[in-house]
Amino acid sequence: MLNIGDLAPNFTLNDQHGNPVSLNDFAGKKVVLYFYPRDNTPGCTRQACAFAGAYEAFKAENIVVIGVSKDSVSSHQKFAEKYNLPFILLSDPERQAIEAYGVWQEKKMCGKTSMGVVHTTYIIGEDGRVTHVMPKVKPDTNAADVLAALGK
């Protein structure tokens, strides 16, 4: 997991439209980078919808919101259309960003242990450095917590 003050690792991944997006594309802007396990699951859907609901507040502050999971581009496209998600969703099937940001971790569920993406949100400053680390976020309050952390 990254720490406050670390330089955010750059990556290039395809968005829900199949277009390549790099973190460096947003140099000079604040970026909310949230990692989630899977499209169309209850918690991930609530988290995405909460970010969609708060999107105008982020947009008004010129803050970029990006969601990242291992799901395919087509899965992201369907997910974004189904819930009218106005922000970028990036497909990371090879776990390039997921591993660079340290969110591929051991998880325990129903007595079984497996590896997977842990709900984690990073806020990256205009200088490309991590300003906030939010591990194991609550999907329902993540967007509001990010706005509060940013003083919005």
Tell me how far apart the alpha carbons of residues 92 and 72 are, in angstroms, rounded to a whole number: 8
Q: Count Cβ neighbours within 10 Å for each residue of 8-43 and write b for 16 or more, e otherwise.
A: beebebbbbeeeebebeebeeebbbbbbbbebeeeb
Verdict on whether the full-model pTM lies above 0.85: yes
Two tokens, residue 25: 């594309």
Mean pLDDT lowest for which of 36-50, 65-79, 98-112?
Answer: 98-112
The per-residue pLDDT for 112 is 87
Give yes or no: 49 in active site: no
pLDDT at 150 over 80: yes
Nearest alpha carbon to residue 48 among 27, 31, 69, 62: 69
Amino acid making up residue 75: S
Q: Residue 42, SS3?
A: helix
Annotated catalytic residue: which of 2, 21, 33, 44? 44
Say whether pLDDT at 109 is over 80: no
What is the rounded CA–CA span in Å between residue 104 and residue 143?
Answer: 21
List, in order of start, the domains of the chain with CATH numbers.
12-149 (3.40.30.10)
pLDDT, residue 111, reads 83
Quick: pLDDT tens for 58-102: 999 999 999 999 999 999 999 999 999 999 999 999 999 999 999
Nearest to 104 by CA among 123, 83, 119, 82: 119
- Is a pLDDT exceeding 80 seen at residue 139? yes
What's residue 119's pLDDT? 93
Residue 150, amino acid: L
Residue among 70, 74, 114 at smallest CA distance from 96: 70
Band the pLDDT of 148: cuts 50, 70, 90.
very high
pLDDT at 48 over 80: yes
